Structure 1
C-alpha cells in the first residue's frame, strides 16, 4: 500500500525536491518516509501538513498497530 505522502505528492505533480523545499526537509528523508523506512519527527509532520495545505493530516503518518498473536496460557498441571 502506497504511503499517503507519495500519493499526495504524485497526484499533485510535486517532485521530492520540491516538497522537500516546501517542508524544509530533504528529498532523501521524504523518500525514506514514503518507503516506510523512516518515521518523520513530529515537527516534520507539522511542516508537511502545512506544506500540503492541510491535504494530509498527522494521522496519515501514523502506522496502525500490528496485530500480535499471543499464545494461550497453559493450565498449571499441579
Structure 2
C-alpha cells in the first residue's frame, strides 16, 4: 500500500542513498529502489517525480510491478 507522508519522509532519503551507492550493473535492484522512491513521492503528492521514477523502473525491469500505477498517474499529471 501507500505509506503515510511521515513514513515517506523517512524512507525517501534512504532510497536516495541506496540508489547512489548501487552499482550500475544491478538493474533489478535499481528498479525496485526506484519503485519504492516513486511510492514515497506519490505519498507526498509529488506525482510528476513519482511517475518519472516509475517510468525509469519500468525501463530497467518491465516486471517491477508499477505499470498500472504509472498508467494511472499519466492520466492525472
TM bin, normalised by shorter chain, reads 0.3 to 0.5
State TM-score, norm by structure 1: 0.32
> Whose Rg is larger?
1
TM-score w.r.t. length of structure 2: 0.32
